[in-house]
Structure 1
Amino acid sequence: MPNCAPGACRSCLAGDHCLGIGSITAVARHCREQGRTLRVLWLDAHSDFNTSEVTPSGNVHGMPVACLCGLGPQALTELGGSAPALRPEQVRQIGIRSVDPDEKRLIKQHRIDVYDMRYIDEMGMKRTMEAALDGLDADTHLHVSFDVDFLDPSIAPGVGTTVPGGPNYREAQLVMEMIADSGRMASLDIVELNPVLDHRNLTAELAVDLVESLFGKSTLMRD
């Protein structure tokens, strides 16, 4: 993990969600060295828990969470040593609405906490985020892995793999503000923004707004 000033948030901006394999492996190693607990919030339309054996597409960007949990090619699962970077119970997935059949089986087998859009529709985003953030304390390093296709394509068309039915603007703002309010975010990925597919920078400008909220900018009239 690169050396940063104490309290600084390490941020990575990249093309696809393969980035998460490297960034979260580094964060996990850093947490082990510091004796801290790691929690990962995976904001995405896709669960990214395919493996090379079950993937229908062959796309590595559909495999990062599985690789981080030790499922997949050795070259990817052992970037940080022989042990998996993550245990499944360290992951919270939010906004999921596209899962392949064998991927779903693996998710259930490994008991990944998934707050899919059905859950969000039924429980509301506030209760969803309260559940996802539950248990954080001063010793927790919170890593947020934000795939822009987490958002509904009506407000964020500039991604390569749009999936209808995602969070709207206010829901997304609430997610970011509640993460900021926790005071625990220590590292961040921002991935999958594709300017070629964007409409007049609509998605890029929205992503900037949301990241500003992650760092504490509030849209609310509160102290």
Structure 2
Amino acid sequence: LDHKPGALQPQLSPENVVIVGLRHADPAEARVLKDSRVSAFTMTDIDAMGMRDLMHEAIRIATSGTQGFHVSYSPEVTEFAGWAAGSGGITVRETHQAMEAIALSGGLLSMDVSGLTSGLEPRIAIDTVNFVMSAFGKRIL
């Protein structure tokens, strides 16, 4: 970015950026991630730590020195039965668990959802809406 007066300035520190559920990175992408200060948690990390502990760490990183955080969610990270795009991804239950941890943190300021298209099965859209509601604090009881 240009550093002239009035020029756009970064509003996000790489140290606070967290990727959860990374399933694949080509060699160039992996190198960029390793060289950056972005934290990336792979599916192997989720398997090793469990979603609950991993989300506590991810939220700690995202909120360190910040006023809160933004979540960007794509249904492609979630493994919905019969949908190839999410194959090998986070389970539906793990996705809910991640969203519940986000809500409990009290730090969520905004959220976006990408990847919803008219060609998706309605149940995927319904589950996605439920994930968003969980992130914003909807509970069963």
Range into which the TM-score falls when normalised by the shorter chain:
0.7 to 0.9
Taking only the aligned residue pairs, the percentage that are identical comes to 33
Which structure's residues are more often helix, by fraction? 2
Q: What letter is aligned with 2:85?
A: T
Deviation at 1:138, TM superposition (A): 9.3
**Where does the alignment leave 5 or more consecutive residues of structure 2 unmatched?**
none
Deviation at 1:101, TM superposition (A): 1.2
What is the TM-score with the length of structure 1 in the denominator?
A: 0.55
What is the TM-score with the length of structure 2 in the denominator?
A: 0.85
1:117–1:137 Cα change, 3 Å: closer
Q: Is the 8 A contact 1:195 1:204 kept in 2?
A: no
1:199-214 equivalences under 5 Å are 199=121, 201-214=122-135
Q: Residue 98 of structure 2: which of 175, 180, 193 is its match?
A: 175
Counterpart in the other structure of 1:93 = 19
Q: Is the 8 A contact 2:16 2:64 kept in 1?
A: no
1:98–1:163 Cα change, 3 Å: farther
Aligned length: 137
User: Which stretches of structure 1, 4 residues or more, deviate above 2 A after TM superposition?
Assistant: 80-87, 135-139
After superposition, give the CA deviation of every residue in 1:158-206 in whole Å (9 maximum; x if it has no partner): xxx814211112111111111001111111111111221x22x011000
Secondary structure of 1:140's counterpart equals: coil
Does 1:143 find its partner at 2:70? Answer: yes
**Where does the alignment leave 5 or more consecutive residues of structure 1 unmatched?**
1-69, 75-79
Greater relative contact order structure (CA < 8 Å, 6+ sep): 1
Measured on the aligned residues, the alpha-carbon RMSD in Å equals 2.5
